[in-house]
Amino acid sequence: MRHISMTPFGRQPVTAGLLATQALAEAPAPDSAPDKWALLRDLTAARTVFNVTDRDLAVLAALFSFHPGKELADDDALIVFPSNASLSERTHGMAESTLRRHLAALTRAGLILRRDSPNGKRYAARDRSGALDRVFGFDLRPLLIRSPEIAEAAEEARREAFALRRLREQVVIRVRDAGKLIAWAIETDMGAPAALIADLAELQRLLRRKLDIQCLATLAARAENVLDQVRSLSKTEKMDGNADVNERHQQNSKPDSYESEPCLEHQEGEAAASSAEPAMPLGLVLKAVPDILDYAPDGIRTWRDLIGVAGFVRPMLGISPDAWDSSRRVMGDAAAAIVLACMLQRAETINKPGGYLRALTSKAEAGAFSVGPMVMALLRAENGRPV
């Protein structure tokens, strides 16, 4: 009677999880053979459900590369037997100790099963006719058996991710609307309660974190409440009825102000067009200061976009129009926008943003400051290594 051992080689013990995976591997296969790469994509989407990481899945992809064909058919080819050296090569030089750790994680998750030989080596033995007789290595059959479960979990994960994105969009838009209305109220001397501004600032800080759907739902309710309070600062009829008058007043009485909301985009465009672009790429800057992208639902593709978003964020940081205008005049529009984006990225560590910006402006005026080192410092902090 042919017997294939399911017990691990060496000091590795038999566990309940191993026995459960063994029983699963002996279960009947589904009627259809799944595409192995589609299965890997589903696992990537649902990796938290199966308690595996992206690195675990990178090793699984390497194992898939040793399986012939595109589909996981229920045959002997489901057992792959690459050496550690071959696996390391196909995982771009991953160390063998790291490989063993990720292979163990895939085994614990019940996605693969070890079929160890008497000496622990992975190989295939052939009979006298040359056909494969015994194969020792990693059995992919648990993946075949669990493919419907994996597909269902992936679909659910994608639905949750979609709902999370939509909910986050709603919160960002509400916070943006509240911020712009508060800026409008301040610019038109209507004023806004300090508590309301503090609530808005707290929402902005919370948005920088990675939140689950429950936390985002709570945040959405808070954002709606803040927006309702901002709307109550002035009657809608008054705001609508005076819109044209306010626009003419802002354009005529403050021709040099970059914070006049109706003409902001036009003025920012002229300012960006007339200023020299920094030597560093915009993409590098955005990599260092990703938080500012939360305030740009349409993205930041040009320096003019960055300057416009910086002008919108400026009052939320408590920076006065005078301090902002001085920094733009001394540093240049794009450089000032980079500085403000860096300050937003480090908002929790800056006690007085207005004074901090004025100090940097004074240094820049004396030729003792440039934005390059500031951006590089944030990149180093993000990557945890020298840039």
Q: Each residue of 164-214: pLDDT tens digit?
A: 889 989 888 888 888 888 877 776 667 777 788 888 888 888 888 888 888
The answer to whether residue 205 sits within a structural domain is no
Could you say which of 132, 156, 180 is where a domain stops? Answer: 156
The answer to whether residue 219 sits within a structural domain is no
Do 259 and 152 share a domain, yes or no? no
Query: Residue 30's domain is classified under what CATH number?
Result: 1.10.10
Which tens digits make up the pLDDT trace of 300-321? 999 999 999 999 889 888 899 9
Pick the more confident residue, 85 or 273: 85
H-run or E-run covering 138: strand 132-139
Could you say which of 126, 156, 186 is where a domain stops? Answer: 156
Which tens digits make up the pLDDT trace of 75-114? 878 888 888 889 999 999 999 899 989 998 998 888 988 8
Number of domains in the chain: 2
Contact assessment for residue 275 and residue 334, using Cβ atoms and an 8 Å cutoff: yes
Could you say which of 138, 156, 174 is where a domain stops? Answer: 156
Does this model's pTM top 0.85? My answer is no
Residue partners of 343: CB distance under 8 A and separation at least 6: 317, 350, 353, 356, 357
Burial class (CB in 10 A: 0-12, 13-18, 19+), 31: exposed
The answer to whether residue 194 sits within a structural domain is no
CA distance 381 to 385: 7
The answer to whether residue 276 sits within a structural domain is yes
Torsion of CA 197, 202, 205, 207, to 10 degrees: -100
What is the distance between the terminal CA atoms of the chain, rounded to a whole angstrom?
A: 62
Which tens digits make up the pLDDT trace of 55-65? 999 999 999 99
For residues 115-149, one letter each, b for 16 or more C-beta atoms within 10 angstroms of the residue's C-beta and e for the rest, the string is: bbbeeeebeeeeeeeeeeeebbbbbbbbbbbbbee
The answer to whether residue 191 sits within a structural domain is no
The answer to whether residue 59 sits within a structural domain is yes
The answer to whether residue 94 sits within a structural domain is yes
Which tens digits make up the pLDDT trace of 277-297? 677 788 888 988 999 998 887
The answer to whether residue 5 sits within a structural domain is no
Which band of pLDDT confidence, cut at 50, 70 and 90, is reported for residue 141? confident
Nearest to 360 by CA among 343, 377, 378, 382: 343
Determine the structural domain holding residue 298 and report its residue range: 254-387
Dihedral sign for Cα 234, 200, 379, 351, please.
positive
CA distance 283 to 268: 20
